[in-house]
């Protein structure tokens, strides 16, 4: 028999608006974490960033607000600001795409998932950074293997027209958006750049 809490949560529409879906896709390529329910039929999203980026957390919260029960809170233990969504079936579907054997992966159909400026900008605000003496832009994709980086490289080219290279060092592989694409990247992402995250884009052409 369902508890009152379960009935309440099931009454909330279990589908995502386009911007919600795209924000979650960008977040999952970056710092986002999806946690499955005990029966593995639903999942919830956890958003967590440094306290100094609390405005960024609040921006994500405003977009996902109807999926969230408790407002963002401070975790003084690790100096972070975070919130979690409710457990939802629609989030379990995304969870199944982004995890294999409890390891985060790049889905084979990433080209049909990462399709909008809000998704791209969210990913870059999570895991991107400009170089001090170079107008290119690096994305910390060390958590993904070479073949997954190639998937992302093709996606950035086909969906956004961004030229990239894959760099390798002792940590693994990461993507570099080339300087020739910096102006285009700035045009795509500027409308969604949150003030506290603009430092990541400081070398891009205005």
What are the pLDDT digits (tens) for 37-93? 999 999 999 999 999 999 999 999 999 999 999 999 999 999 999 999 999 999 999
Which segments of the chain does DSSP mark as H helices, in order?
4-10, 18-29, 54-64, 89-98, 117-127, 146-160, 182-189
CATH of 110-201, one of 3.40.50.10860, 3.40.50.300, 3.40.50.720, 3.10.28.10: 3.10.28.10
Q: Name the residue with higher pLDDT: 59 or 169.
A: 59
Dmax (CA) of the chain: 61
- pTM (2 d.p.): 0.91
CA dist., res. 117 & res. 191, Å (int): 9
Within the chain, all domains assigned CATH 3.10.28.10 are found at: 4-100, 110-201
Q: Residue 65: how many CB atoms within 10 A of its CB? A: 12
pLDDT reported for residue 129 = 87
* Assigned superfamily of 4-100: Homing endonucleases (3.10.28.10)
pLDDT reported for residue 11 = 46
Among 128, 139, 144, 133, residue whose Cα is nearest residue 164: 139
For residue 134, the cross-strand partners are 131
pLDDT reported for residue 132 = 64
pLDDT reported for residue 8 = 46
Does 2 score more than 70 pLDDT?
no
Mean of the pLDDT values across residues 82-110? 97
Residue 14 binned pLDDT confidence (cut-offs 50, 70, 90): confident
Strand order in the sheet with 164-169: 128-131, 134-139, 172-177, 164-169
Residue 12 binned pLDDT confidence (cut-offs 50, 70, 90): low
- Dihedral pair phi/psi, residue 166, rounded to 5°: -110, 120
Q: Name the residue with higher pLDDT: 5 or 179.
A: 179
Say if CB 129 and CB 138 are below 8 A apart: yes
Say if CB 29 and CB 127 are below 8 A apart: yes
CA dist., res. 124 & res. 115, Å (int): 14
* Mean predicted lDDT score pLDDT of the chain: 92
Does 4 score more than 60 pLDDT?
no
């Amino acid at each position: 028999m369902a508890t009152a809490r379960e009935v309440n949560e099931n009454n909330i529409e279990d589908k995502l608006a386009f911007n919600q879906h795209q924000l979650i896709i960008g977040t999952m390529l970056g710092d986002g974490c999806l946690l499955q329910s005990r029966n593995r039929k639903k999942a919830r999203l956890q958003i967590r960033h440094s306290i100094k980026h609390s405005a960024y957390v609040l921006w994500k919260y405003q977009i996902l607000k109807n999926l969230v029960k408790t407002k963002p809170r401070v975790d003084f233990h690790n100096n972070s600001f975070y919130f979690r969504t409710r457990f939802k079936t629609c989030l379990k579907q995304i969870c199944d795409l982004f995890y294999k054997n409890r390891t985060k992966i790049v889905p084979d159909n990433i080209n049909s998932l990462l399709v909008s400026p809000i998704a791209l900008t969210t990913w870059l605000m999570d895991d991107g950074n400009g170089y001090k003496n170079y107008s290119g832009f690096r994305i910390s994709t060390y958590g993904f293997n070479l073949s997954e980086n190639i998937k992302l490289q093709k996606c950035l080219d086909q969906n956004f027209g961004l030229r990239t290279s894959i760099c390798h060092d002792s940590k693994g592989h990461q993507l570099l958006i080339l300087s020739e694409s910096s102006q285009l990247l700035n045009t795509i992402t500027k409308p969604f750049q949150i003030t506290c995250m603009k430092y990541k884009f400081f070398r891009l052409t205005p």
